[in-house]
């Protein structure tokens, strides 16, 4: 999408549907002129003048159709004058009553006066292009809007405040400064003497830059989980009570429960918010050999989702104990972290005493009754402990795009380090150093190509 900053854009900024108040947002050099032609201040006949709209002050009046003179609504108008606005351009917001037809009629008048309809995310794109926020902040704003849990909200808010962006720019500045000294040494080897202390550079790489990048990459894993939810797959033999456990966790009758083994066939997936942390639960078919082709497909799907799980809930019927079949299943899920659920506690005497093979290494073992609900709190606690989000809450966690760039930067710095150890010249090393600097710049959105910006901002809503 070609971006012409001289165009004035407009959109309804509040969600579609009926509400108490609806906002029409206008940004660009013509926005104040357009608003004045449509707006009559309370008690003053005729269209408003530019000086009637003080920056960051609400003014009461009416929106009038200039062609017919018809009054459409009583509104509050606020102007935010360039550069003191969200986009950095002149911005006007019209706060009208929140009826969809009314808002569309006012928007139509704004467009008649020369604005064009904004693309999704275009206001924020302009804020980014005018340097009012870096790309991590724009992405954080999107995370904030989309957050469904308090953990995701805190992460979005930290990103929007620029916490990750500042960290990345500090790293980038320091590397840039090193590159400048390297360049001076390459260009004037005799004049400037030893500008670069190689031992110090090596030490900085090993003790600061590389560990810092690795930490950011690791944090990115948590970022992906916080954005998408930790994938918990409930698995076990038929009739163990998997669907009953799922329904208890969700406090909803989501998955079909019967006493017939082989009830669940397809994957049943549902998001779950536990103590403000996001999970995605998947109930699966009980694992067994079956002659029924539909059930066999269900078992295949169950095995596939076990392989892609962040964590498996292995549900056992306490009455069966660790029999041969469940032992085989434990072996196959062992490659992921798993929690052991001893279900149907109400039917056995001492559920906690049931012996397990010593090779089993569940992250936790919980005895419960999905029928009565006893023990469910312990399972919830085991799940939130396992999520391991506690230390990263409130942090501005990298997303997949950031993470890929940190990996590029770390690889490039790794090459610089290896090159120094084998005695390469600065001019060779500086190529890799610049690759790292560029990768960090990409995180912030420096030299971002329009395709990347399209990809990021097109996911926003119209009016954002």
Ligand X SMILES: Nc1nc2c(c(=O)[nH]1)N(C=O)[C@@H](CNc1ccc(C(=O)N[C@@H](CCC(=O)O)C(=O)O)cc1)CN2
Binding site for ligand GTP (CB under 6 A): 236, 238-244, 257-259, 261-264, 285-286, 343-344, 346-347, 369-371
| Residue 361, token pair as written in the block | 């290494």
Pick the closer one to ligand GTP by CB: 262 or 276.
262
> Min. distance of Cβ 342 from ligand GTP in angstroms?
10
- Residue 239 Cβ vs ligand GTP, minimum distance, rounded to whole Å: 5
Measure the CA–CA gap between 144 and 123, rounded to whole angstroms. Answer: 16
Of positions 222, 247, 264, 369, contacts Mg ion by CB under 5 A: 264
**Which residue among 243, 282, 305, 430 contacts Mg ion (CB under 5 A)?**
243
Q: Which is nearer to ligand X, 102 or 303 (CB)?
A: 102
Among residues 242 and 248, whose Cβ is nearest to Mg ion?
Answer: 242
What is the closest distance, in whole angstroms, from the C-beta atom of residue 378 to ligand GTP in the complex?
Answer: 14
CB nearer to ligand X: give 93 or 432: 93
CB of 84 to ligand X, least distance (A): 4
Closest residue to ligand X, Cβ-based?
84
Q: How far is the CB of 349 from ligand GTP (least distance, A)?
A: 14
Q: From ligand X, Mg ion, ligand GTP, none, which one binds at residue 149 (CB under 5 to 8 Å depending on kind)?
A: none
Distances (CA, A) of 415 to 112, 184, 431: 58, 21, 10
First to last CA, the chain: 16
For position 84 contacting ligand X by CB under 6 A, the verdict is yes
| C-alpha span between 361 and 340 (Å, rounded) | 9
d(CA 443, CA 207): 22
CB of residue 343 vs Mg ion: minimum separation in angstroms? 12
Nearer to Mg ion, 243 or 282 (CB): 243
Strands 338-343 and 364-367, bridge-based pairing:
parallel
Task: Calculate the alpha carbon distances from 367 to 243, 316, 374 in Å.
Answer: 16, 10, 9
d(CA 175, CA 171): 6
Shortest CB 449 distance to ligand X, Å = 25
Stretch that binds Mg ion, among 107-115, 259-267, 366-374, 400-408 (CB under 5 A): 259-267
Identify whether the C-beta of residue 41 lies closer than 8 Å to the C-beta of residue 52.
yes
* Rg, Å, the chain Cα set: 30
CB of 86 to ligand X, least distance (A): 4
Tell the smallest beta-carbon distance from residue 261 to ligand GTP (Å).
Answer: 5
* Number of C-beta neighbours around residue 32 at 10 A: 26
Binding site, annotated residues: 25, 93, 132, 239-244, 258-264, 283-286, 369-371, 464
Residue nearest to ligand GTP (CB): 286
Range 375-393 burial, b when 16+ CB lie within 10 A, else e: bbeebbebbbebbebeebb
- How many helices (H) and strands (E) would you count in the chain? 15, 13
Among 62, 65, 73, 86, interactor with ligand X by CB under 6 A: 86
CA distances, 413 to each of 155, 419, 420, 439 (Å): 28, 10, 10, 11
Q: Which residues are annotated as a binding site for Mg(2+)?
A: 243, 264
Does residue 80 bind ligand X (CB under 6 A)? Answer: yes
Cβ–Cβ under 8 Å, residues 357 and 340? no
Which C-beta is closer to Mg ion: that of 251 or that of 400? 251
Task: Specify whether the CB–CB gap between 335 and 312 falls below 8 A.
Answer: no
Closer by beta carbon to ligand X, 126 or else 242: 126
CA 191 – CA 184 distance, rounded (Å): 9
Tokens of 418: 């290896």
Q: In angstroms, rounded to a whole number, what is the distance separating the alpha carbons of residues 159 and 276?
A: 18
C-beta closer to Mg ion: residue 265 or 408: 265
Given Mg ion, ligand GTP, ligand X, none, residue 240, with its beta carbon under 5 to 8 Å by kind, binds ligand GTP
Question: Mask 81-120, x = binds Mg ion (CB under 5 A)?
Answer: ----------------------------------------
Region of 82-90, 192-200, 227-235, 261-269 interacting with ligand X (CB under 6 A): 82-90
Q: Is 93 in the site for ligand X (CB under 6 A)?
A: yes
Does position 394 bind ligand X by CB under 6 A? no
C-alpha to C-alpha distance for 260 and 258, rounded to whole angstroms: 5
Q: How far apart are CA 59 and CA 79, in angstroms?
A: 9
Our CB check for ligand X shows the closer of 85 and 247 to be 85
Q: Minimum Å distance from CB 233 to Mg ion?
A: 13
Taking the least distance from each CB to ligand X, the nearer of 86 and 360 is 86
What sign has the CA pseudo-torsion 132, 134, 135, 138?
negative
Give the β-pairing of 19-27 and 91-98: antiparallel
Give yes or no for residue 90 binding ligand X (CB under 6 A). no
* Number of chain positions touching ligand X (CB under 6 A): 5
Footprint of ligand X on this chain (CB under 6 A)? 80, 84-86, 93
């Amino acid at each position: 999408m070609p971006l012409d900053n001289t165009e004035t854009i407009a959109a309804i900024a509040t969600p579609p549907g009926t509400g108490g108040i609806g906002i029409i947002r206008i940004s660009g050099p013509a926005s104040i002129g357009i608003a004045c032609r449509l707006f009559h201040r309370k008690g003053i006949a005729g269209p408003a003048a530019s000086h009637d709209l003080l920056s960051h002050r609400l003014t009461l009046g009416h929106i009038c159709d200039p062609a017919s003179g018809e009054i459409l609504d009583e509104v509050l108008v606020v102007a935010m004058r360039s550069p003191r606005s969200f986009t950095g351009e002149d911005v006007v917001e019209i706060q009208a009553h929140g009826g969809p037809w009314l808002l569309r009629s006012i928007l139509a008048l704004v467009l008649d006066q020369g604005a064009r309809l904004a693309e999704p995310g275009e206001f924020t794109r302009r804020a980014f292009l005018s340097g009012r926020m870096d790309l991590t902040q724009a992405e954080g704003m999107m995370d904030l809007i989309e957050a469904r849990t308090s953990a995701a909200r805190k992460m979005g808010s930290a990103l929007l405040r620029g916490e990750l962006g500042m960290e990345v720019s500090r790293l980038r500045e320091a590397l840039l400064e090193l590159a400048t000294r390297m360049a001076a040494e390459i260009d004037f080897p005799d004049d400037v003497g030893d500008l670069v202390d190689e031992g110090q550079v090596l030490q900085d790489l090993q003790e600061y830059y590389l560990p810092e990048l690795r930490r950011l990459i690791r944090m990115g894993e948590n970022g992906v989980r916080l954005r998408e939810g930790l994938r918990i797959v409930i698995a076990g033999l038929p009739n163990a009570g998997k669907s009953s456990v799922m329904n208890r966790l969700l406090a909803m009758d989501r998955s079909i429960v019967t006493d017939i083994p082989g009830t669940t066939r397809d994957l049943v997936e549902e998001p779950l918010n536990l103590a403000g942390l996001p999970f995605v639960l998947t109930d699966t078919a009980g694992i067994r050999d079956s002659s029924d082709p539909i059930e066999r497909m269900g078992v295949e799907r169950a095995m596939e989702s076990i392989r892609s799980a962040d964590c498996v809930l292995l549900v056992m019927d306490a009455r069966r104990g660790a029999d041969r079949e469940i032992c085989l299943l434990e072996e196959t899920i062992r490659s992921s972290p798993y929690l052991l659920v001893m279900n149907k506690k109400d039917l056995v005497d001492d559920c906690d005493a049931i012996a397990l093979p010593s090779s089993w290494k569940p992250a936790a073992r919980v005895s419960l009754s999905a029928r009565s609900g006893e023990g469910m709190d312990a399972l919830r606690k085991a799940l939130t402990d396992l999520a391991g989000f506690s230390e990263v809450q409130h942090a501005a966690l990298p997303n997949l795009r950031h993470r890929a760039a940190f990996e590029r930067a770390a690889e490039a710095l790794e090459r610089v380090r290896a090159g120094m150890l084998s005695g390469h010249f600065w001019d060779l090393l500086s190529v890799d150093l610049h690759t790292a600097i560029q990768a960090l710049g990409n995180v912030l959105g420096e030299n971002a190509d329009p395709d990347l910006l399209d990809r990021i901002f097109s996911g926003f809503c119209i009016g954002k």
